[in-house]
Amino acid sequence: MTTMRSIKRAGWCGPYTAALLALGHYLKQADYRFTTVTPATHARINQRAGNELGSTLTDLFGWNRVFAESAVESHLFSLMLDADILERSERGWRSKLRAATLNGELYFHSAYPTAAVDSVFFGPDSYRFAALLEQELDNCSLPPQRVVDIGCGAGPGALTVAKRLPAAEVIAADINPSALVLCRTNTALAAVGNVTCCESNLLHEVNGEFDLIIANPPYLVDADQRAYRHGGGALGGALSLAIAEAALGRLRSGGTLMLYSGSVIVNGDDALLHEIERLLEAWPQVEWRYRELDPDIFGEELEHGPYTIADRIAAVALTLTRRG
C-alpha cells in the first residue's frame, strides 16, 4: 500500500516563533489580501515587464518578488528578519514564505517555486477544498464531534471545519514537520482554539474513531517524489485510495469521509473512480458519491511523463458515509 512517505528536511523549516506570529498580525492589520494561483500562472505574471522587483505587501508575500530593503517599511523588514524568513538574492531580498488569504484568514505557506521536498503547498486546490467542505457541512444532519484532516498542510481544511464547528475536536495531521509549524502558526493567527496539530503518517499516530475525516492529498506523479505533490502509483491516485481505505476502518457509524483529489482521465475513463469502486465492493454498508468539481486542471502536466496519454486531469470529490 502506498502511504505518505518519510521526507528529508529541506527548504524553510523554521520554528514556530512569536516573530512569525507578529508578522502575520502585521499583515492582517494591513488588510493584506492575496489569492494564490497555479504555479504556471504565477510564473506568467512575474515574467511580465515591470514585475521583476517588488515593494508592496502582495509583491513580497503573494508574488514572492525580490525587493530592496529600502523599498519596504523598516518595521516590516525587522519582522521578517526576526522571523528568519529572509534570504539574499543577487538583486536584493526575498521571503522564504508566502501568504494567502481564504475566507478572511491568512495562511503562511512555502515560497515560489515550491521545489523543496518539504514544501507546504497552497493554491487553487485549497480554495476548492474549502468550498467543498462548506457545502458538505451544510448537508450534515448531526454536527461532527471529532474530526481529522489527513495531510493538513498549511491548515485550510482543518481551519474551515473548526470555524464552522467550534464545539468539535479537530486534529490536523501531517507527516511533514514544516507543514505542522505553519499550520500551528495559521491556527494561532485565526484565533481558533479547537485545532490540535499532530505529526502522523495517514492515521498511524492518531487514535480513535471519527465522525468526519477530510483530506486534500497530493495526486500528481512527481519525478522528485516531493511529499506535497507526489500521489504515488502509475497516475498519482495511490495516496487518495490509501486515505479512503484508512478512513473506512476509522469512521464511526454514521461517520463521513470528504476527500478532494485529482484524477487522470484516459480515453474517457476515470482511473481513480475505478479503484474506488473496487475498494468499496467490500463495504456494502457504505453510501458514497463521487463527482467532478472541475473537468480540467493542471493542463500543463499533459506535456510530461505519464500524462502524455491522458485526455485531462479532473478535480474530483468523494464523499462516503459508513452506515453501521
146 and 293 share one domain:
yes
247-295: pLDDT as tens digits: 999 999 999 999 999 999 999 999 999 999 999 999 999 999 999 999 9
Domain boundary among 43, 78, 110: 110
Residue-level pLDDT at 16: 54
Domain range enclosing 238: 124-322
Does residue 1 lie within any of the structural domains? Answer: no
pLDDT for res 17: 75
Task: Tell me how far apart the alpha carbons of residues 305 and 33 are, in angstroms, rounded to a whole number.
Answer: 36
pLDDT at 1 over 50: no
140: confidence class by pLDDT, cuts 50, 70, 90: confident
- What is the distance between the alpha carbons of residues 224 and 222, in angstroms, rounded to a whole number? 5
Shared-domain flag, residues 217 and 288: yes
Side-chain half-sphere of 274: how many Cα atoms within 13 Å? Answer: 8
The alpha carbon of 101 is separated from its chain's Cα centroid by a whole number of angstroms, namely 13
68/212 same-domain check? no
Q: Which amino acid is at 257?
A: L
Q: Are 189 and 26 in contact (CB under 8 A)?
A: no
What is the rounded distance in angstroms from the CA atom of residue 247 to the CA atom of residue 77? 44
Question: Could you give the number of structural domains in the chain?
Answer: 2
117 lies in a domain? no
DSSP code string of 9-71:
--S--PPP-HHHHHHHHHHHHTT-------HHHHHHHHTSTT-SEE-SHIIIIIS--EE-GGG
Same domain? 47 vs 148: no
The predicted structure's pLDDT at residue 4 = 37
CATH of the domain at 301: 3.40.50.150
The CA-based angle 295-218-220, given to 5 degrees, is: 65
pLDDT at 171 over 70: yes
Q: What percent of the chain has pLDDT over 90?
A: 87
